[in-house]
Structure 1
Amino acid sequence: MMFFGFLLIILIIWYIMKNPDAVKNLTETQSKNSAKEDALRILNEKFVNGEITEEEYLRKKKLIE
């Protein structure tokens, strides 16, 4: 059982060394998702507070998504 765990770690290290862009793409995807979530949160707050109309909210939400 311990052998398979060790083998899995070796395979992960090999994959990262063979494809260094894989880690970079993973972190970029996470940062894009968090930026999108932040934008939607701010947009929702503005709509709830009455700072923007429903039409503006829907239009901007469509642009973000």
Structure 2
Amino acid sequence: MMFLFLILILFIIWYFMKNPDAAKKLGEFQNSTEDSKKEALKILNEKFVNGEITEEEYLRKKKLIE
């Protein structure tokens, strides 16, 4: 079992060394996730300010987003 784990780790290292763009894409995915959270919070804040949702709903949804 330990041997399979070692092979898996070596394969992952080899993959990222052969494909440096893969690591870059992984970083871009993380940034897009942060952008999505910011956009969702912006929309949530607008709905709260406009009175479309209650404070309880706002706090509950904000906690889910973060």
Q: TM-score, normalised by structure 2?
A: 0.69
Per the alignment, residue 39 of structure 2 pairs with 39
Stretches of 4+ moved more than 2 A in 1?
none
| Match runs of 1:1-65 below 5 Å | 1-50=1-50
**Deviation of 1:30 (Å):** 1.3
**Deviation of 1:35 (Å):** 0.6
Matched length: 51
Q: Which runs of 5+ in 2 are unaligned?
A: 52-66
3-state SS of 2:50 partner: coil
Q: Which amino acid aligns with 1:7?
A: I
Root-mean-square deviation over aligned CA pairs: 1.4
Q: Which runs of 5+ in 1 are unaligned?
A: 52-65
